[in-house]
Structure 1
Amino acid sequence: MRHLAYAGMLAFCLLGTVPLDRVFRLGVLRQVRRLALTLAVAAGPFLVWDLWATHAGHWWFDDAQTLPLRVLGVPWEEVGFFVVIPIAAILTHAAVAEVRGRRTARRARR
């Protein structure tokens, strides 16, 4: 089970944030082009850097805590990290902005 640790944490992040899109009617996940551009800008440089650093031997991934599938020598979970975490951050930010906007609107009506 230890090999599922990284993938499990990514799933946990998604399970905690993806429902925010629907609950608060954010529409973040429907803006596919905008989301893809954001992920490319956010994930692209870090993925390249991560690939370089692992190939240069600056760090490595514990085979006991990752699944065997690799992308250019990097666990697929690491690639997934650069997609999942920005999505979780965007959804969280949008949900907080929505809640704060509602609160501000209520105060303005008083």
Structure 2
Amino acid sequence: MSRYLLINFLIIIFPFLGSMLFYKHTIKRLHRFFISFLSVGIPFIIWDILASKRGDWAFNSSYVNGLRIFGLPLEEILFFLTVPYACLFLYEGIKFFIFDTKVKIPSRLFILSIGLAFVLLGFYFIFTPYTSTVFFVTGLTFLMLSLCFSFLLKTVHYYIFIILTFILFFIFNSILTGIPIVSYSKDAILNIRLGTVPLEDFFYNFSMLTLYLGIYELLGEKSPIKGV
């Protein structure tokens, strides 16, 4: 087993076992996860493919198996399944164990302004490919938070989710970038790091998981979309 595959295994094993313990609860929500994957995971994988071909990052062949799909190691594609699944399982646990309280959120205009600021940063760093793209995507995420997923900002569960996933992300991404399984081109990032983790990866993590969660919850029992 490659090291990257082992990391995927460690990420998914406890959420998977937990899902088996509460399989009735899990089955009712599986369609929401797969729709989230199709809506968010696939575009992020396409981004990954294009960025890899452009040379924004590369994968150390010593720590992945030989199977590649559109130039990406199989383990990298699995990462877009194991990480969101584990994080959404964590979110369900947060909702189960922690009493929700409503949070007073900033105005829609303020959230939109943050999104616009990230878009402008994307243009400012247009010649730094990964930085520029991740800022554009973060801007889009704030736009979605303002227009479609504002319900997330009203619950304390979302903020706990973001904090806990940031901690877990930092641990696992430190392993990926520390070994390194993944290395970044100096021309593609700002070269500002927390430990071995590039600054851009934090925005990447925030955007991907927020978009996953937004669609997952939009399809939930309390969704304004009826009959899903």
TM-score normalised to structure 2 length: 0.40
Q: Using the alignment, how far apart are the partners of 1:24 and 1:98 within structure 2? A: 12
Deviations 1:29-72 (CA, angstroms, capped at 9, x unpaired): 44332221011223122111100001111211100010100001
Q: Using the alignment, how far apart are the partners of 1:30 and 1:94 within structure 2? A: 12
Instruction: Find the partner of 1:50 among 48, 51, 61.
Output: 48
Greater percentage in helix = 1
1:88 aligned residue:
86
One-letter amino acid of the counterpart of residue 92, structure 1: L
One-letter amino acid of the counterpart of residue 54, structure 1: S
Indicate if the aligned counterparts of 1:13 and 1:88 stay in contact, CA closer than 8 A.
yes
2:15 aligned residue:
17
Instruction: State the Cα RMSD in Å.
Output: 1.9
Q: Using the alignment, how far apart are the partners of 2:22 and 2:68 within structure 1? A: 36
Q: Using the alignment, how far apart are the partners of 2:7 and 2:26 within structure 1? A: 22
Q: Which runs of 5+ in 2 are unaligned?
A: 100-228
Q: Which runs of 5+ in 1 are unaligned?
A: 102-110
Aligned length: 99
2:36 is the alignment partner of 1:34: no
Indicate if the aligned counterparts of 1:70 and 1:76 stay in contact, CA closer than 8 A.
yes
1:71 aligned residue:
69
Indicate if the aligned counterparts of 1:7 and 1:66 stay in contact, CA closer than 8 A.
yes
